[in-house]
Amino acid sequence: MLNNPNFRLGLQAAVAMTIALSIQHFYHFERSYWSVFTSMILFSQTLGSSIKRSFERIAMTILGGSLATGLYYILPTTELPIVTITLCSVFFQICFMQRFYLGSAFFASVFIVFFFALVQSWSVHLLMVRILETILGAAITLFCSFLIFPIKTEENLLTKIPMFIKDARALSDQILEILLSPKASPKTMLKKANACLVLLSELDQEYAHLGYEVGRHHSKKEIKETLKALSHFYHYLSGAASWLLHLQDRSLFLALKDELRALLDAILGDLNDINTALIKEKDILFSPEFSTRYGILQQKAATLEKTPAYSRQAWLDYYALFRFLKDMDNTLKVLEK
C-alpha cells in the first residue's frame, strides 16, 4: 500500500492537518484556520512540486496581499469596486490554476483581501497575520512531505519513462498496421498518439519540479537529455501518424513491409536503450541499427523505383514518409554527439 502514491499523499495530508489543528487547539492563533487551509492545499504528487508550490504560495501571498491591501486603501469603500475586483480575482485564479500556479496564488491572495473587505473589513494587521499563517501552513506541508514517506520526483520520472516507451511501442505497431492495411482504424492510432502526448507533458511537468529536491541519484542533465530524446521520438511518431491520415496508395509499403518493421524495431530498441542508460546512470549511446535499417529501406526502394506496378501516388506517399525517416535519422545523429 505504501507503494501507492495516492495513499502516501493522503497520509501526508492527514498528518499535516492533524498538526495544524493541534496548533490551533493549543495556541489559539487569531486566524489559525488559514494555516490549516494552506497545509491542506499545498500538497502535490511529489516532494519537488510540494516545495515549489509552498515557496510560490508564500511569495504570492506577500506580493498579492500587499498590492491588494494598497489598492484597498486607495479605492473608494463602496461595494461596486470591491465586488468587481473580487469577481475578477476569482476568474483569473481559476484560469491560471492548471497552467500557471504563481498567477493562481497571486489572485487567490487578492481575492482574500477583497472578500474580507466585502464581508467585514481588512487591515495591514490582517495582512501580517495572513502572511504568518501561510508560512506556518507551508512549513507544516514541507515537514510532512519530507518525513512522511516522501514521494520523490525522480522516482516518478523513472516509473513513467518505461510507461511512455510502452505507449510509443503500441503507437508504432498501430502506425505499421494502418500503413499496411486499409481496414485498420486511424481513430485508435490517434488515441494512442494523444495518450503518448499526455504522458510526455506529465514527464515535462515532473522535470520542472526536479530542481527543488536534493539527494538525487541522477543529474538533472541526464534526465533532461533523456526527456529531450523521448520528445524527439514522440514528434517523429506523431508526424507519421498525421501523415497516415492522408495516405492514398499502400501498394509500395506492402513490398517494403519487412524493412519498415525492422526500422520500427530499431526505433524501439533505441527507446529501450534510453531507459536502460538512465536507470544505470550512463550516457545514452545509440546503436547504428536505425541508420543501417534506414539505408536498407532506401536500397530496397531504389530497386523498385522503375517498377511500373507502383503508381505515382504510391511514390508520393513513400517520399512523404521518407522525409519523416530522414528527420529521425538526423535526430539520432544529433543526440549521439
175 and 297 belong to one structural domain: yes
- Comparing CA positions, the residue from 337, 323, 327 lying closest to residue 286 is 337
The Cα–Cα gap between 120 and 330 comes to: 65
Residue with cell 541526464: 222
For residue 233, give its domain range.
153-336
Q: How many domains does the chain have?
A: 2
Q: What is the pLDDT of residue 302?
A: 84
184 and 118 part of one domain = no
* Whether residue 139 sits in one domain with residue 249: no
149's grid cell: 514517506
Could you tell me if 134 and 169 lie in one domain? no
- Distance between CA 46 and CA 40 in Å, rounded? 15
Gap between the terminal Cα atoms of the chain = 43
Q: Is the model's pTM score more than 0.75?
A: no
The whole-angstrom distance between residue 262's C-alpha and the CA centroid of its chain comes to 31
Task: Give me the sign of the Cα torsion angle 247, 250, 256, 262.
Answer: positive
> Residue 5 and residue 321: Cα distance in Å, rounded?
41
**The predicted structure's pLDDT at residue 334:** 60
Residues of the chain short of pLDDT 50, as ranges, are: none
Q: Could you read off the pLDDT of 21-72 as tens digits, one per residue?
A: 887 777 777 677 777 777 777 667 777 888 888 888 889 889 988 998 988 8
Contacts of 123 (CB under 8 A, 6+ apart): none
Residue 172 shares a structural domain with residue 297: yes
